[in-house]
Amino acid sequence: MRRGTNLPWVGDYNQAVVLDGIRRHPGTSRTDLAVASGLTVQTVSNIVRRLLDRGLVQEGETRARGGPRSGGKPRTALSVRPGAALAVGLQFEREHVDAVLLDLDGTVLDAVRRRSPDPSPSVRTAVEHATGAVRGLVDGCAHPDAVLGVGVAVPGPLDFAGPVRTSAINLPGWHGVAIADLLTTSTGLPVLVENDATAAAVGDLWRSPRVGRSFLHLHVGAGIGGGVVLRDEVVRGESGNAGEVGHVVADPTGPRCSCGATGCLEAVAAPAAVVARYADRVGAEAARAAGLRLSPRTVLDDHDRLSLLAGAGDAVAAAELDAAARAIARVVVGVVNVVDVSEVVLGGSGLRLAGERVRAAVRAGLGVAMTREVHPVEVRLEEVGERAAALGAAGAVLHEALSSTWVGVHVPPREIVISPVAPVH
């Protein structure tokens, strides 16, 4: 866990440190928290009292230190109280919006997916769908008053100047849309917007009992994005757009990208690119005969189909998926060299069947990473599946509301209370 300080004027910071420790380590004790945080037992006890009074944590069974026969002083197990603080996470994709309701203890209480009625829904339609999903989750839960806000994960790039906006180029027609303002008005809840890959990284961080992690979270949905965490700090950059690995040039001779450049990773290796190349090589008729539907809204399903075909011996499907996996691996190795992470997490709906193939390529590619003889780089698939960004966005809301150490990107102060950042000494 993070280190605390015993200076009385940073009580909020210490409170966040202690709450974080209890949340990550259910069953921990005041003494354990004091040892891990560097705070005195008295300071921890005072904070725990306040957290108990606020109903955020609860006491459990008491156990003797070192076991029942040791005669040690008894310790009371602490955990966050289920239902004390909740958040909704939304994840906009081209074909659907996912909504999840997340509890402070990490439990996903409910989840819904609303499919868009047309392949390129208008912003209004998408916001109506999302609002309906949010209302359904909030109204249907046992503690609607405990919902602190809505976290929204959208593909980048985002424009956070002034009111929170997004010009997400992967969602046609969304250029310049103030999504946070729209959703704040329609749901009546504070709204926080996060780049989808960064949101997925925040979620991974939020759920992890480990501390001091440095990792790249590669998110492959309709597009490709990346979230970077260094020593538990989320790297957002100047405008919340750090980690746009999808727009690193992977093949200068490749196709033109939606961003205007040529041969970006996204244009070369995103599901739509792989499906298009396959159809190009075998012909549309043969592709349809092989089970592809070749419509903009079936890209992810078609991409899954290619993995199945490759597994059944279709050499063209295997070759195209492998080419995409190698392109992803090249860019990932570049990022690993630049930011020196020890983990690469691969997730998103574009990897639900192609994940192992990409993981193998990234593992092989890391054989030339600059740090290969200094420390290993673990490569794994995202464990929570396709809703990682929605879960991360919800986790970001809880983090924002309950931690004084992190100020994310959010609607103006009148909409959400921003805790001050703890001074660094």
| Binding footprint of Zn ion on the chain (CB under 5 A) | 247, 257, 259, 261, 264
CB 275 to Zn ion: min, Å: 18
Give dist(CA 147, CA 141) in Å, integer: 9
User: Would you tell me how many other CB atoms lie within 10 Å of the CB of residue 142?
Assistant: 9
Nearer to Zn ion, 147 or 257 (CB): 257
CB 264 to Zn ion: min, Å: 3
CB 249 to Zn ion: min, Å: 8
Nearer to Zn ion, 269 or 394 (CB): 269
CB 269 to Zn ion: min, Å: 12
Nearer to Zn ion, 114 or 247 (CB): 247
Nearer to Zn ion, 141 or 197 (CB): 197
Nearer to Zn ion, 108 or 259 (CB): 259
Nearer to Zn ion, 272 or 309 (CB): 272
User: Would you tell me how many other CB atoms lie within 10 Å of the CB of residue 425?
Assistant: 6
User: Would you tell me how many other CB atoms lie within 10 Å of the CB of residue 174?
Assistant: 21
CB 222 to Zn ion: min, Å: 13
Query: Residue 80: what residue type?
Result: V
CB 266 to Zn ion: min, Å: 6
**Six-digit token string for 214:** 């440095």
CB 159 to Zn ion: min, Å: 17
CB 132 to Zn ion: min, Å: 33
Nearer to Zn ion, 264 or 366 (CB): 264
CB 331 to Zn ion: min, Å: 12
CB 267 to Zn ion: min, Å: 6
Nearer to Zn ion, 257 or 279 (CB): 257
User: Cβ neighbours of residue 22 under 8 Å, at least 6 residues apart?
Assistant: 28, 33, 48, 51, 57, 78, 79, 80
Rg of the chain's alpha carbons, rounded to an integer?
23
Is residue 26 packed enough to be buried (19+ CB in 10 Å), middle (13-18) or exposed (0-12)? middle
Nearer to Zn ion, 70 or 253 (CB): 253
Nearer to Zn ion, 264 or 402 (CB): 264
